[in-house]
Amino acid sequence: MFTVGSAFPESWEAGATLAVFERRRMNGKGPGVLTPDDQRDFFHLLESVGNRENVILDFSDERQFRSALAIHNLGGHTPESRPGMHMALAERRERHILRNGAGGEQLPQDPPFETGAWVDEISRVTGTPLVAASGFSSVVGGAFQLNSTIALFNSQDKALLASGSGTQFNEGRPLDLYAEPLPDQHPQPQVTATIFYSYQQNPGDPWVTALTQRSIDVGVGVAPEVTHPNRHQSAVTSEYIRIALGRGANNQNDVDYWYWYHTDSTTYALPWYGSVTLPARPRALVYGVNPVIFGRLRHGKGGTGGCAELPEASKRNIFDNLHVSGNTLSWTLTPPSDQPPWDSMGNPLKWGDLKWVSGEADYLSLQLVIYLEDQTVPATATVQSADGPSPALDGVTYIPPIQFLWSCMVAGTPVLLADGSTIRIEDVVRGSVVQCGDGLARRVSSTTIFRFSGDVVRLLTEDGSEVALSGNHPVVTADGIVQAHELEPGVALRVRTGTAVLRRADREPYEGLLCNLRLTESAEPDPVESTVFAGGIEVGDYALQTSHDYAHRTDPDRILAMLDPRYHPDFENHLNETTAAADRR
């Protein structure tokens, strides 16, 4: 047993949190360095883990502890830059020694979404012989602190080929990782990528450290041509591929794809339609043998975190819809009808019946590893969502994130128009002119309607204003914007006539249509230009809902107030690193 700063037992002094990195500093070995001892420990750990994904590390094992510290240092998460985390990991080591292991520790799950890290792509950097990798880590429910490092090794001689890292504080979305290639690498055909991640889910929680790995024969990268999913809406400019459950009159062009399942559940469904030209004809297609199909959907900016693997039935559906013509492999998982009478649901990819999260942007990763005739290494074709410009990796086609649109206000809610009259929210269409919170008139840019079964929050003020809406919808109070589920009686809300005291805020079950509208397509809308009066109460539109949710979670002052003081240097260093990275770009 030990405490930080005490003398460490000689048997594992090399792995002690502060001692090992102090020796590195004195020897000129800082971030980005793995010693021969580190590599031996690290590959011993990978061999003991085998092909399992997202294994929680047992810090009572000295070599696992040393490996975790070495990889964090490789990514720049050193005792100097993350002193709070390193103290916490030292305490974790102590707990594991006392209880003889990590028994009882589990990664958060919300089936089918799960916590963990995954390697999306291992391939050459376009136009070079260098090998790189991309991946991400994500925690179901979001992590209050998350530090991750991705490292790429030659599977034969264990040489480090590339590495990268990332940090989040209270963001609740996937942490993208890119292993930057070393300029003097000499890759062999088989390489191994690993991701180490340490996180604290809530302030005050113990930390958890885990790893995942993936090995692959680096073959030929072949970028697919994707027809679907893609941005197709003709009336709305958006940074996302927008998918909504429901279909409403006059607004079929407001989104890229409409789905209507006539069930009480929303379904993550999207089309996948495209082709790839290969350098040789693929070998015989045999399910489970050729091609090998990987697919994940990860929760994005809704703050929920986690990732869902493509179900086996959907993998089989992809395989059954593959077609070969010469050297071209194509697939047809078609979208639904895009115009009345909506007589076809198409044949989309499905991740099961799930509850969408309002405002989320999800990230798709689909990969085919294809074995070719007369070829010793496979071809890889990857379709991957990205927020913006991404590393140029061979065989990767980047598409925008996918936004599953959520509706928030119950059907029948009266919305104030610019002429002083009201209209039921389900009758609002693109082009309707509403009165905003600043008193000005603005046109509605898009609307959504879908069937819902679940809880809503009903607000009733002392002046008789009333609205029922989803719990995370923004409501304007006299002191600013809050989410509906945070409201308590006695708060002054902004209403059509000024302000009114909230008398009741009740959670109640609801089955029926939920509706929403959007006034602007800006990702950072001006709050006063993105509110309407619904049931007489000032509430946000869809754009304000998504932007407020993210800004609320990532506000630096709010995060500092929630952090234990020992983590303040970690957060301040992270902010400085983020600023420096932005300046370099």
Over 287-299, what HEC string results? CCCECEEEEEEEC
Token pair 């969408």 in the structure block, residue: 356
DSSP letter for each residue of 103-151: TT----EETTEE-EEEEEEEEEBTTSS-EEEEEEEE-TT--SEEEEEEE
Distance from C-alpha of 63 to C-alpha of 77, rounded to nearest angstrom: 19
The span from the first CA to the last CA of the chain, in angstroms, equals 45
Per-residue pLDDT, 353: 62
The 3-class secondary structure across 526-569, one letter per residue, is CHHHCEEEECCEEEECHHHHHHHHHHHHHCHHHHHHHCCHHHHH
> Tell me, which fold does domain 409-545 have in CATH?
Endonuclease - Pi-scei; Chain A, domain 1 (2.170.16)
Q: The pTM is what?
A: 0.82
Work out the pLDDT band at 16, boundaries 50, 70, 90: very low
Amino acid, single-letter form, for residue 59: F
Alpha-carbon dihedral angle through residues 6, 12, 17, 23, given to the nearest 10 degrees? 90
- 500, 493 contact by CB (below 8 A): yes
**pLDDT per position as a tens digit, 536-558:** 999 998 878 777 766 667 889 98
Residue 56 has pLDDT above 50, yes or no: yes
Distance from C-alpha of 543 to C-alpha of 541, rounded to nearest angstrom: 6
- 394, 236 contact by CB (below 8 A): no
Amino acid, single-letter form, for residue 581: A
The full set of domain ranges for the chain reads 10-218+561-584, 221-405, 409-545
Work out the pLDDT band at 110, boundaries 50, 70, 90: confident
- 219, 199 contact by CB (below 8 A): no
Residue 356 has pLDDT above 60, yes or no: no
**Which residue, 134, 140, 131, 144, is CA-closest to 191?**
131
- When pLDDT is averaged across residues 25-39 and rounded to a whole number, the result is 61
369 CB contacts (<8 Å, ≥6 apart)?
216, 291, 292, 294, 378, 379, 380
**Axis crossing angle, helix 83-98 with helix 62-74, rounded to the nearest 10:** 170
Residue 19 has pLDDT above 50, yes or no: no
Distance from C-alpha of 571 to C-alpha of 560, rounded to nearest angstrom: 8
Work out the pLDDT band at 134, boundaries 50, 70, 90: very high
What is the token pair recorded at 513? Answer: 């249509």
**pLDDT per position as a tens digit, 482-536:** 889 889 999 999 999 999 999 999 999 988 888 888 887 665 677 778 899 999 9
CATH architecture of the domain with residue range 10-218+561-584: Sandwich (2.60)
Fold matches, 10-218+561-584 and 409-545: no
At 501 the three-state DSSP class reads strand
Work out the pLDDT band at 3, boundaries 50, 70, 90: very low
**Which residue, 239, 333, 192, is CA-closest to 524?**
239
Residue 128 has pLDDT above 80, yes or no: yes
DSSP letter for each residue of 20-71: HHHHHHHTT--TT---HHHHHHHHHHHHHHTT-SSEEP-TTSHHHHHHHHHH
Residue 29 has pLDDT above 50, yes or no: no
Q: How many residues does the chain have?
A: 585
Q: Could you tell me how far CA 225 lies from the centroid of its own chain?
A: 24
